[in-house]
Amino acid sequence: MARSLDRRHVRTSRSPIRNNDGVQSVALSAGDPTWVFPPESVTSDMLAVLDRVGERLREVAASLSNGQAGWTGEGLEYSLFPSGQRSLGGFAENPQVTFSAELRPPGFYEGERTWSADAEIAVRCDHVVDCGMHRIESRGAPDLDTPADAVATLDKFTDWLLVRSREVPPERWRDADPLATNH
Ligand SMILES: [Zn+2]
Protein backbone atom coordinates (compact mmCIF):
# COMPACT_ATOMS: atom_id res chain seq x y z
CA MET A 1 0.00 0.00 0.00
CA ALA A 2 1.16 3.53 -0.66
CA ARG A 3 3.27 4.88 2.15
CA SER A 4 1.33 7.01 4.53
CA LEU A 5 3.61 9.88 5.39
CA ASP A 6 1.95 12.78 7.07
CA ARG A 7 1.05 15.23 4.37
CA ARG A 8 -1.11 17.53 6.43
CA HIS A 9 1.45 20.30 6.56
CA VAL A 10 2.98 19.80 3.16
CA ARG A 11 2.38 22.57 0.68
CA THR A 12 1.99 21.93 -3.02
CA SER A 13 5.28 21.95 -4.79
CA ARG A 14 6.00 22.32 -8.48
CA SER A 15 9.52 20.98 -8.22
CA PRO A 16 9.94 17.71 -10.17
CA ILE A 17 11.93 16.20 -7.30
CA ARG A 18 10.92 16.19 -3.66
CA ASN A 19 12.66 14.72 -0.65
CA ASN A 20 10.47 13.41 2.18
CA ASP A 21 12.38 11.91 5.08
CA GLY A 22 14.95 10.44 2.73
CA VAL A 23 12.45 9.12 0.18
CA GLN A 24 12.93 10.87 -3.13
CA SER A 25 9.80 11.51 -5.16
CA VAL A 26 10.57 12.15 -8.82
CA ALA A 27 7.87 13.21 -11.26
CA LEU A 28 7.21 10.68 -14.03
CA SER A 29 8.45 13.15 -16.64
CA ALA A 30 11.71 13.77 -14.77
CA GLY A 31 12.50 10.15 -13.92
CA ASP A 32 13.92 7.09 -15.64
CA PRO A 33 11.48 4.21 -16.34
CA THR A 34 14.31 1.71 -15.87
CA TRP A 35 14.38 2.63 -12.19
CA VAL A 36 11.33 0.37 -11.92
CA PHE A 37 10.98 -1.49 -15.26
CA PRO A 38 13.46 -3.78 -17.03
CA PRO A 39 14.86 -1.79 -20.00
CA GLU A 40 13.54 -4.27 -22.59
CA SER A 41 9.99 -3.87 -21.24
CA VAL A 42 9.83 -0.10 -21.72
CA THR A 43 7.87 0.79 -24.85
CA SER A 44 6.31 3.99 -26.13
CA ASP A 45 2.90 2.39 -25.57
CA MET A 46 3.73 1.77 -21.94
CA LEU A 47 4.95 5.35 -21.47
CA ALA A 48 1.75 6.65 -23.07
CA VAL A 49 -0.31 4.65 -20.56
CA LEU A 50 1.76 6.03 -17.67
CA ASP A 51 1.22 9.57 -18.96
CA ARG A 52 -2.50 8.89 -18.96
CA VAL A 53 -2.32 7.58 -15.38
CA GLY A 54 -0.65 10.82 -14.25
CA GLU A 55 -3.18 12.87 -16.18
CA ARG A 56 -6.04 11.09 -14.38
CA LEU A 57 -4.52 11.77 -10.97
CA ARG A 58 -4.17 15.45 -11.93
CA GLU A 59 -7.79 15.42 -13.07
CA VAL A 60 -8.93 14.01 -9.73
CA ALA A 61 -6.82 16.62 -7.87
CA ALA A 62 -8.31 19.40 -10.01
CA SER A 63 -11.80 18.28 -8.99
CA LEU A 64 -10.95 18.75 -5.28
CA SER A 65 -10.84 22.17 -3.64
CA ASN A 66 -7.17 22.81 -2.76
CA GLY A 67 -6.39 19.52 -4.44
CA GLN A 68 -2.80 18.34 -4.69
CA ALA A 69 -1.52 15.92 -7.36
CA GLY A 70 1.36 13.97 -5.85
CA TRP A 71 4.31 15.51 -4.06
CA THR A 72 5.49 17.18 -7.24
CA GLY A 73 2.17 18.34 -8.67
CA GLU A 74 2.47 15.85 -11.52
CA GLY A 75 0.40 13.08 -9.93
CA LEU A 76 2.44 10.01 -10.90
CA GLU A 77 5.92 9.78 -9.40
CA TYR A 78 8.80 7.40 -8.81
CA SER A 79 9.61 6.80 -5.16
CA LEU A 80 13.28 6.10 -4.51
CA PHE A 81 13.81 4.73 -1.02
CA PRO A 82 17.11 4.93 0.86
CA SER A 83 17.02 1.10 1.05
CA GLY A 84 17.20 0.92 -2.75
CA GLN A 85 13.55 -0.06 -3.17
CA ARG A 86 11.71 1.71 -5.98
CA SER A 87 8.06 2.04 -6.83
CA LEU A 88 5.86 4.09 -9.12
CA GLY A 89 2.69 5.63 -7.77
CA GLY A 90 0.84 8.76 -7.00
CA PHE A 91 -2.01 10.45 -5.26
CA ALA A 92 -4.62 13.15 -5.56
CA GLU A 93 -5.92 14.64 -2.36
CA ASN A 94 -7.26 17.51 -0.35
CA PRO A 95 -7.93 17.70 3.39
CA GLN A 96 -11.16 15.70 2.87
CA VAL A 97 -9.97 12.66 0.94
CA THR A 98 -6.93 10.94 -0.57
CA PHE A 99 -6.99 8.87 -3.78
CA SER A 100 -3.79 6.88 -4.32
CA ALA A 101 -2.36 4.13 -6.49
CA GLU A 102 0.99 2.39 -6.73
CA LEU A 103 2.83 -0.37 -8.55
CA ARG A 104 5.82 -2.26 -7.23
CA PRO A 105 8.33 -4.47 -9.04
CA PRO A 106 9.28 -7.98 -7.89
CA GLY A 107 11.62 -7.86 -4.93
CA PHE A 108 10.17 -4.63 -3.57
CA TYR A 109 9.32 -6.68 -0.52
CA GLU A 110 11.77 -9.40 0.38
CA GLY A 111 10.86 -12.71 -1.23
CA GLU A 112 8.16 -11.21 -3.44
CA ARG A 113 8.55 -12.58 -6.97
CA THR A 114 5.67 -10.88 -8.74
CA TRP A 115 4.66 -7.38 -9.73
CA SER A 116 1.92 -5.85 -7.65
CA ALA A 117 -0.40 -2.87 -7.80
CA ASP A 118 -2.99 -1.37 -5.53
CA ALA A 119 -5.17 1.66 -5.09
CA GLU A 120 -7.18 3.13 -2.29
CA ILE A 121 -9.48 5.92 -1.25
CA ALA A 122 -8.87 7.04 2.33
CA VAL A 123 -9.65 9.81 4.79
CA ARG A 124 -7.41 11.26 7.46
CA CYS A 125 -7.84 9.72 10.93
CA ASP A 126 -10.15 11.70 13.21
CA HIS A 127 -9.11 9.91 16.44
CA VAL A 128 -7.56 11.74 19.39
CA VAL A 129 -4.42 9.70 18.80
CA ASP A 130 -3.87 9.95 15.06
CA CYS A 131 -3.51 6.44 13.57
CA GLY A 132 -2.85 7.67 10.04
CA MET A 133 -5.30 7.14 7.20
CA HIS A 134 -8.62 5.28 7.31
CA ARG A 135 -9.14 3.23 4.15
CA ILE A 136 -12.64 3.52 2.71
CA GLU A 137 -12.35 1.57 -0.56
CA SER A 138 -9.48 -0.28 -2.19
CA ARG A 139 -8.33 -2.45 -5.06
CA GLY A 140 -5.37 -4.80 -5.00
CA ALA A 141 -3.52 -7.05 -7.42
CA PRO A 142 -0.67 -8.79 -5.61
CA ASP A 143 0.45 -11.29 -8.24
CA LEU A 144 1.01 -9.76 -11.66
CA ASP A 145 3.36 -11.60 -14.01
CA THR A 146 4.81 -8.91 -16.24
CA PRO A 147 5.61 -5.17 -16.26
CA ALA A 148 2.91 -4.77 -18.92
CA ASP A 149 0.36 -6.41 -16.59
CA ALA A 150 1.42 -4.08 -13.78
CA VAL A 151 1.05 -0.98 -15.94
CA ALA A 152 -2.31 -2.14 -17.31
CA THR A 153 -3.51 -2.73 -13.76
CA LEU A 154 -2.32 0.69 -12.59
CA ASP A 155 -4.20 2.12 -15.59
CA LYS A 156 -7.36 0.25 -14.61
CA PHE A 157 -7.05 1.24 -10.94
CA THR A 158 -6.58 4.95 -11.64
CA ASP A 159 -9.56 4.84 -13.97
CA TRP A 160 -11.52 3.41 -11.03
CA LEU A 161 -10.25 6.26 -8.80
CA LEU A 162 -11.36 8.84 -11.35
CA VAL A 163 -14.79 7.24 -11.71
CA ARG A 164 -15.29 7.12 -7.93
CA SER A 165 -14.13 10.74 -7.55
CA ARG A 166 -16.89 11.72 -9.98
CA GLU A 167 -19.52 9.58 -8.29
CA VAL A 168 -18.96 10.69 -4.70
CA PRO A 169 -18.63 14.33 -3.60
CA PRO A 170 -15.33 14.84 -1.68
CA GLU A 171 -17.08 15.78 1.57
CA ARG A 172 -19.08 12.52 1.56
CA TRP A 173 -16.11 10.14 1.89
CA ARG A 174 -15.78 10.74 5.63
CA ASP A 175 -19.40 9.65 6.11
CA ALA A 176 -18.38 6.22 4.81
CA ASP A 177 -15.49 5.86 7.30
CA PRO A 178 -16.11 2.71 9.40
CA LEU A 179 -13.45 3.83 11.88
CA ALA A 180 -14.82 7.32 12.39
CA THR A 181 -14.93 8.54 16.00
CA ASN A 182 -18.49 9.77 15.71
CA HIS A 183 -19.94 6.42 14.64
ZN1 LIG B 1 -7.74 6.50 13.30
Q: Read off the pLDDT of each residue in 79-106 and give the average, rounded to a whole number.
A: 96
The whole-number pLDDT of residue 180 equals 84
Q: pLDDT class for 84, splitting at 50, 70, 90?
A: very high
State which H helix or E strand residue 20 sits in.
strand 17-20
Q: Report the alpha-carbon distance of residue 31 to residue 39 in Å, rounded.
A: 14
Ligand 1: distance of its center to the CA of 122 in Å? 11
- To the nearest whole percent, how much of the chain has pLDDT over 90? 78
Q: Report the alpha-carbon distance of residue 60 to residue 21 in Å, rounded.
A: 26
Segments making up each domain of the chain, as ranges = 17-176
The pLDDT tens digits of the residues spanning 134-159 come to: 999 999 999 999 999 999 999 999 99
Q: Report the alpha-carbon distance of residue 37 to residue 108 in Å, rounded.
A: 12
Ligand 1: distance of its center to the CA of 41 in Å? 40
